A and B are shown apart, each in its own frame.
Chain A
Amino acid sequence: MKLYCLSGHPTLPCNVLKFKSTTIMLDCGLDTTSVLNFLPLPLVHSPRLSKLPGWVSKDGTINLEKELKECAGRVFVDAQPEFCLPERELLDLSTIDVILISNYHCMMALPYITEHTGFTGTVYATEPTLQIGRLLMEELVNFMERVPKAQSATSWKNKEIRRMLPGPLKDAVDVWMWKRCYSMQEVNSALSKVQLVGYSQKVELFGAVQVSPLSSGYSLGSSNWIIQSHHEKVSYVSGSSLLTTHPQPMDQSSLKNSDVLILTGLTQMPTANPDGMLGEFCSNLAMTIRAGGNVLVPCYSSGVIYDLLECLYQFIESANLGTTPFYFISPIANSSLEFSQIFAEWLCHNKQTKVYLPEPPFPHAELIQTNKLKHYPSIHGDFSSEFRQPCVVFTGHPSLRFGDVVHFMELWGKSSLNTIIFTEPDFSYLDALAPYQPLAMKCVYCPIDTRLNFHQVSKLLKEVQPLHVVCPEQYTQPPLTQSHRSDLMLELQPPPMPYRRCSVLNLPFRRRYERIYILPELANSLVPSEIKPGVSVATVSALLHSKDNKHTLQSVPKPPPMPPSKKRKRVIEEPPVALAPKPMLSGAVALEAFLATLQKHGITEVKVEETADGHILHLQAEDTLIQLEEDGTHIVCDSEPLRTTLRDLVLRFLQKL
């Protein structure tokens, strides 16, 4: 059993598990942090961005002014932003049988894997994961295609040239794995391979392995996966949360008794308490509005935004923000808000109860109804005429490199009245802001990451007791910036097996048993005998059928009677193999009882001689010797009928296995 690690990003994993002749990809995360090296894509022509100077090396020998631009003291790539794909060379991706998706953030690389690699398998995901994942992909494609940039930049990726570049471009890794965004057509084709599953649904893969998603409590429809056969169990834990937010609570007990637990997707903000951050978010927002400024919240269009809106719903009145307009701008804003209301089965208990009333589970329905929250597909169109300030705008993309957020950065960045509040933990806010510097606008960093922290995860692992834990290497040492915090790492016994991008791990498995089915006819014909109290054994000789990785045993059919004409058959070349072998024997032959039995069968003349290990019986009339010992019996006899008789008599004293 092997684990191939195709992504080095701990929260955007992509691993491949080879387990009992199946090849299973676990998640398909797309590392988007690479886009931070690119210039923002403005929706409206930006004089500032279009007049940036090109980059020329200090000695003037290398001129990449078409590809690279200098901006605010850094160098950025001036091309359509590219994402860092999972490794494609580590193993043949066309051999993947299934892909298991744990949540909608971890499936963004799906089109790269399912298209153009020869992939012919099935993708399994829950319904909310599929629907919201589709929306997020749609949004990404829309962001890119709305601002087409014909030019692609590859010269800078050259190793020789890159050495000359300033950081962080110089230190970027795997740049040849950076690819431009997929098209909508590829998205549709990729998602057509998805098969929907429900929590705790058991899905059989080729009869060999059973996979089952479990609620992970992180987002709508998010799941951990159990991959098991009758005797082995692998748990895949990815993006789980124990906090009470909108999704169904995490199912912890089903993770018990795992041989191996693969642990990914822990919080990226181990020191930030989500509740505290939420409080800070609200107070900063209120403060800015009261001072007459605008608030910009760069965020994903699904996920934490539902919780932010719910929090604001309770906060608006008390903070006297009743008249402040809240805008949610995204090509998928409407869909995201609508979809969130129809997944009652996937929500926490409180929200489910609301649906029974029947009321929409999320209060943003009421915010929309009362016109407090308005949503628009983009800044163009209705929004531009209806837009009032001061206001709060939720919009993407959190990297600040594309999407409507770019426009608001240009619009509001120069005023110190305005505030940008970062809530998504995926990007370093300083890097995100780099191409907009110098900024007058206030920046508040309130990353809300509800995923498990180290304290919660060690408690969880104590609870579910896996034999081995596999995790990204980042979790086995404290963060670089806080190297003294030994509480910010996993400390386990036995120590976790770390992986990094391109690792291939041999998972410590001792497979010893396999499930087999004994057909009723054979089961009825077995003759069990009790060896010790409560333990019986029966010898089994049967036909083995193996089909679709399922094994069954059935009775050996009686050979058809030999036709008389074929009496002289050449058997030497084909010694019969179908006959059952003799069982193993156990026990000992008691001398006195054996002599008595012999007597019963008319063998009376027996001379018994004692030896070091037992006795030798001399059957004088028959000229036969029987050597009786603790762990063996030896019959020396030239007469065939007598030998058969003696054998059967001896066998009466022994247990057959």
Chain B
Amino acid sequence: MPEIKVTPLGAGQDVGRSCILVSIGGKNIMLDCGMHMGYNDDRRFPDFSYITQNGRLTDFLDCVIISHFHLDHCGALPYMSEMVGYDGPIYMTHPTKAICPILLEDFRKITVDKKGETNFFTSQMIKDCMKKVIPLNLHQTVQVDDELEIKAYYAGHVLGAAMVHIKVGSESVVYTGDYNMTPDRHLGAAWIDKCRPDILISESTYATTIRDSKRCRERDFLKKVHESIERGGKVLIPVFALGRAQELCILLETFWERMNLKAPIYFSTGLTEKANHYYKLFITWTNQKIRKTFVQRNMFEFKHIKAFDRSYADNPGPMVVFATPGMLHAGQSLQIFKKWAGNEKNMVIMPGYCVQGTIGHKILNGQRKLEMEGRATLDVKLQVEYMSFSAHADAKGIMQLIRMAEPRNMLLVHGEAVKMEFLKGKIEQEFSIDCYMPANGETTTVTTNPSVPVDISLNLLKREMALGGPLPDPKKPRTMHGTLIMKENSLKLVSSEQALKELGLNEHQLRFTCHVQLQDPHSDADTLHRIYTHLKSVLKGYTIQHLPDGTVIVESIVIKVSSSAEDSNTKVLLLSWSYQVKTWTLFLERFVIIYSFKCSEQQQDRELIDIQWGGKKIH
């Protein structure tokens, strides 16, 4: 039985460093290659030694597929391809290919330049790694090799996020990456067709929550910003350059427009033009509304949002500033934070996850006194807010996707074990399919039961179809008989006659002959004729011929009559048939025997005779 094996190296009952190995139809595929934001040691990257102990991965992987540009999905890619060693194809969508190297470079700078870590990938490695990337288009069927094909679907999590359908022969797996089933400010909703994969590997970040609508969280966010501005405070929003920043900008931009607000909104440098440019150029990846109106008004050309200059931080009066990086661990966002922290009118809104050790993490945990370099302490008086804007499917969304794709098995990753357990129960109950949730390094094996594709001769198929009438009738199954020829890798189903011909074999005829005696006073010819007319009336729809040479042929059964030498009333019936004629012989013989009894008892009875069926076979 063919099997599909799935082993998470990361994201197994965990969020972070997504990396899932799939073995299907003899192909090995790595899905995502992320790093863990919560660790600074070896646990940061997936454990590639699981694949091989010695060195390069090229021989062990057929391809790597990256679902989107978040670092927990692509952060380990240069490490894997350049430091561990992998030269095979890496697939990702165009936007991911464009944005991923920028985030990797940012991440590298923070780790190496700021934290001073060595033994990390270099800028050149990122470039070399990206050279191995083959861009994917949505819905395009990409043939990785002769057998392995992949197809990307829209996932709606971030710009360019994709789900992938991986297919080998008639076996298939879908990996969702991170996805979102409800359209948001700038992206559309995930969609997949009814591809009925053997396994659906789904993220389960929000496995237990049926989330309040995104609108509520947006309203909440706007209310907080608005209140702060109203009382003359300054609002700092630490963000990463791409993704959430653009969504929040659209949100504020439209709010400012609607409310006719005058307080300035600034973008910190490095974030500005460039990031928005990606969104403008990849507008086909955003939602319907933005795409439709982009000629008249490009949503990523902001009217109210202007570039930030460091001197503006000291300007009096309210303002909103988006600044990088998102965790307040360095750079401009940290500088502004230090300036504004002392005033309780001000506010900082953390729109995403913060790694342990960063200032962002500390203030989110309620720390109010921060130790800065040089023994100085900083009193945190401003308001600290946390808002999650990450676009993941909730339990309802996950169920919706299952309904869309109709998988035979379900496998959960990218979530917490306890929550997964809950969702697993729900899925098994609602869809009656098996649901797995392997931990990192644990392998789930699913046996598949694929149908065997065969080439059938059109003649044979048409003949069989014609027998069943033009329309299929569920009550009358159509049986088909043929010979399957297995030669090299081809499977051909043909009629037996054609098989003989194709294989260059001669047919061997096997015939049987037997004699049956019966009492009939008529002449030989009359008896034969009586048998003929009788068969005619009994066997409707069969070819029955009375040949001039004194034989009756029913299909291919030959019947001859001769009188016994001793008694002219005893007739000898000669029956001859070939091996291929089967139940017929039985039928005929029974018929003849009973016919003979009847004839002897009531000479003239030519009525149809009730024949007992189900006796043992003749041969």
Cβ of A633 and Cβ of B508 under 8 Å apart? yes
Q: How many A-B residue pairs have CB under 8 A?
A: 272
Question: Which chain A residues numbered 111 to 159 have a C-beta less than 8 Å away from chain B?
Answer: 127
- The proximity string for B residues 123-139 relative to A, scoring 1 for CB distances below 8 Å and 0 otherwise, is 00000000000010111
What is the bound-complex CA distance between A199 and B282, given in angstroms? Answer: 17
Q: A576 within 8 Å of B by Cβ?
A: yes
Q: Of B283, B493, B500, B583, which is within 8 A of A540 by CB?
A: B493
Q: B211 within 8 Å of A by Cβ?
A: no
Most buried by A among B468, B484, B507, B608: B484
What is the bound-complex CA distance between A579 and B283, given in angstroms? Answer: 63
Cβ of B514 and Cβ of A637 under 8 Å apart? yes
Cβ of B479 and Cβ of A584 under 8 Å apart? no
Question: Which chain A residues numbered 338 to 356 have a C-beta less than 8 Å away from chain B?
Answer: 338-339, 341-345, 352, 355-356
Known: A230-B455, A633-B511, A647-B579. A538 touches B137 (CB 8 A): no
Q: Of B137, B449, B454, B512, which is within 8 A of A520 by CB?
A: B449
Task: In the complex, identify which listed stretch (A98-106, A308-316, A460-468, A541-549) lies at the interface while the others stay far away.
Answer: A541-549
What is the bound-complex CA distance between A601 and B26, given in angstroms? Answer: 50
What is the bound-complex CA distance between A539 and B480, given in angstroms? Answer: 11
Known: A127-B284, A342-B294, A575-B587. A518 touches B454 (CB 8 A): yes
Q: B547 within 8 Å of A by Cβ?
A: no
Chain B residues with Cβ below 8 Å from A534 are 487-488
Chain A residues with Cβ below 8 Å from B295 are 334-335, 338-339
What is the bound-complex CA distance between A199 and B141, given in angstroms? Answer: 8
Cβ of B452 and Cβ of A523 under 8 Å apart? yes
Cβ of A540 and Cβ of B483 under 8 Å apart? yes
Chain B residues with Cβ below 8 Å from A538 are 483-484, 486
Nearest Cβ in chain B — how far from A579, in angstroms? 6
Of the four ranges (under 10, 10 to 19, 20 to 34, 35 or more), the interface on chain B belongs to 35 or more
Cβ of B580 and Cβ of A647 under 8 Å apart? no
- The proximity string for B residues 453-494 relative to A, scoring 1 for CB distances below 8 Å and 0 otherwise, is 111111101001100100010000111111111111000110
Chain A residues with Cβ below 8 Å from B579 are 582, 585, 647
Q: A474 within 8 Å of B by Cβ?
A: no
Nearest Cβ in chain A — how far from B573, in angstroms? 11
What is the bound-complex CA distance between A304 and B582, given in angstroms? Answer: 74
Nearest Cβ in chain A — how far from B167, in angstroms? 11
Nearest Cβ in chain A — how far from B498, in angstroms? 10
Cβ of A345 and Cβ of B483 under 8 Å apart? no
Question: Which chain A residues numbered 162 to 204 have a C-beta less than 8 Å away from chain B?
Answer: 197-202
Cβ of B503 and Cβ of A638 under 8 Å apart? no
Cβ of B614 and Cβ of A562 under 8 Å apart? yes
Nearest Cβ in chain A — how far from B607, in angstroms? 12
What is the bound-complex CA distance between A537 and B619, given in angstroms? Answer: 24
Known: A513-B456, A538-B486. A544 touches B464 (CB 8 A): yes
Q: Of B281, B464, B479, B619, which is within 8 A of A360 by CB?
A: B281
Known: A334-B295, A513-B456. A584 touches B500 (CB 8 A): yes
Q: Which residue of B lies closest to A128 (CB)?
A: B284
Q: Of A197, A585, A644, which is within 8 A of B618 by CB?
A: A644
Task: In the complex, identify which listed stretch (A423-431, A565-573, A602-610) lies at the interface while the others stay far away.
Answer: A565-573
What is the bound-complex CA distance between A542 and B507, given in angstroms? Answer: 23
Cβ of B503 and Cβ of A636 under 8 Å apart? no
Cβ of B486 and Cβ of A344 under 8 Å apart? no
Known: A544-B479, A644-B618, A657-B483. A345 touches B94 (CB 8 A): yes
Q: Which residue of A lies closest to B487 (CB)?
A: A535
Q: A25 within 8 Å of B by Cβ?
A: no
Q: Which residue of A lies closest to B468 (CB)?
A: A544
Q: B451 within 8 Å of A by Cβ?
A: yes
What is the bound-complex CA distance between A453 and B295, given in angstroms? Answer: 36
Cβ of B451 and Cβ of A338 under 8 Å apart? no
What is the bound-complex CA distance between A196 and B589, given in angstroms? Answer: 66
Q: Of A514, A572, A579, A647, which is within 8 A of B608 by CB?
A: A572
Q: Of A514, A532, A634, which is within 8 A of B511 by CB?
A: A634
What is the bound-complex CA distance between A547 and B614, given in angstroms? Answer: 35
Cβ of B483 and Cβ of A537 under 8 Å apart? yes
Cβ of A352 and Cβ of B481 under 8 Å apart? no
Cβ of A586 and Cβ of B508 under 8 Å apart? yes
Nearest Cβ in chain A — how far from B126, in angstroms? 13
Question: Which chain A residues numbered 577 to 617 have a C-beta less than 8 Å away from chain B?
Answer: 577-589
Chain A residues with Cβ below 8 Å from B619 are 640, 643-644, 647
Cβ of B583 and Cβ of A575 under 8 Å apart? yes
Q: A72 within 8 Å of B by Cβ?
A: no
Q: Of A199, A518, A581, A585, which is within 8 A of B507 by CB?
A: A585
Q: A495 within 8 Å of B by Cβ?
A: no
What is the bound-complex CA distance between A538 and B139, given in angstroms? Answer: 39
Known: A344-B94, A513-B492, A535-B487. A358 touches B278 (CB 8 A): yes
Nearest Cβ in chain B — how far from A540, in angstroms? 5
Task: Please give the residue numbers on chain B whose beta carbons come within 8 Å of chain A beta carbons, in ascending order.
Answer: 94, 97-98, 135, 137-142, 151, 274, 277-278, 280-284, 294-295, 449-459, 461, 464-465, 468, 472, 477-488, 492-493, 496-497, 499-500, 503, 505-516, 538-540, 579-584, 587, 608, 610-614, 617-619
A-B residue pairs, 8 tightest by C-beta: A632-B509, A584-B496, A571-B613, A517-B451, A586-B505, A356-B98, A513-B455, A516-B456
Task: Please give the residue numbers on chain A whose beta carbons come within 8 Å of chain B beta carbons, in ascending order.
Answer: 127, 197-202, 212, 230-231, 334-335, 338-339, 341-345, 352, 355-356, 358-361, 511-520, 523, 526, 528, 531-532, 534-547, 551-553, 556, 562, 567-573, 575-589, 630-638, 640, 643-644, 647, 650-651, 654-655, 657
CB-defined A-B contacts under 8 Å, sample of 24 = A201-B151, A344-B94, A344-B281, A356-B97, A514-B456, A514-B461, A516-B453, A535-B487, A539-B481, A539-B496, A545-B478, A575-B584, A578-B479, A579-B582, A581-B582, A586-B505, A587-B505, A631-B506, A631-B509, A632-B508, A632-B510, A633-B508, A635-B510, A636-B513
